[in-house]
Amino acid sequence: MVDNSDKLDICVLMGGTSSEREVSLTSGKNVYEALVRGKGRFNPICGEFSREEDLLDLVTGSDLVFNCLHGGIGEDGTVQLLLDLLDISYTGSGPLASSIAMDKLYSKKAFEWASVDVPNYLEIDESSLSRSVDRVLEKLGFPVVVKPVGEGSSRGVRIVDDGEELFEEVKSMKGEYGKLFAEQYIPGTEVTAGLIQEEGELVPLPLVELAVKNERFYNYKAKYTVGETEFIVPARIPGDTAESVKSLAMKVHQEFGCSGYSRVDFIIDSDGNIYGLEVNTLPGMTETSDLPLAAKEADISFNKLVEKMVLSAL
């Protein structure tokens, strides 16, 4: 356990082995620099790694791990379980919430348990692609969104417009991404709801609207390429709808068993219906990331946001 009166040795865990390594390095660098600016209260250590076997040596002896990993073992609960076994405090959610959020099919069920509508979806049977295409046409129609079950940052997400395209995309994607599913495409306003724990109370931040300029949806390129997305804070939606989204986000955070902070993504259709998309238990901390933008709108500087994340872990 951590003695709050001591200067904290904080290992900023970054890099890793997932496809989101570069984003993690940017997040980690930003957090590390914020901790350095923390008026001497923190002793940050750069915990960059590229081999899983180096992880144990990096975290051993730390008072706290600030988890800036994205995807893979850093976000699916594996690192969280290791830190629990080592009795080392860490930022973000525990193993169970992390694994639920990372498995996009299982997280659909958690949204439904929280009484939050989700777009209709079907798991794709890779052993019978023709049958899967027929089922998608029958149950979902086109266009549909094809997603990997276990990736973050919209890695591998595609919008397909007909059965032939679906067949070809699944064939090309399955080797790289493994299990896939198809989700009903719902055009509308995409918003994300950031949440942060302050003194034990979960607080919703202003909603961020994601207005993509050159892509059909908020994909990896739109997320991390400066100028590809207009981030509008607060989101341009009616006040009662915004309050509903925040309330649903808090229910989802609690249903998933998240801790400290999270970001919950929604799409709002033209009739005002709200659909849950996914939960991010380790939101990015880059220059284009949504959580720092939402915090800034709430007059919380990046340095202060990082401090609140540290405190939420103690």
Q: Looking at the annotation, which residues are catalytic?
A: 20, 153, 224, 263, 265, 278, 280, 284
C-alpha closest to that of 251 among 262, 235, 240 = 262
Tell me how far apart the alpha carbons of residues 30 and 137 are, in angstroms, rounded to a whole number: 45
Distance between CA atoms of residues 232 and 191, nearest Å: 9
Q: How far is CA 263 from CA 159, 172, 244, 249, in A?
A: 23, 30, 15, 8
Alpha-carbon distance 45 to 65, whole Å?
9
Yes or no: say if 122 and 108 are a contact pair by the CB < 8 Å rule. Answer: no
| Residue 128 DSSP label | -
Whole-number Å distance between alpha carbons of 190 and 208? 9
State how far the Cα of 286 lies from the Cα of 24, in Å rounded to an integer.
Answer: 9
Phi, psi of 182 (to 5 degrees): -110, 140
- Residues paired with residue 65 on neighbouring β-strands, in sequence order: 11, 90
Task: Please check whether residue 192 is in contact with residue 307, taking contact to mean a CB–CB distance below 8 angstroms.
Answer: no
CA angle in degrees (0–180, nearest 5) for 138-142-148:
95
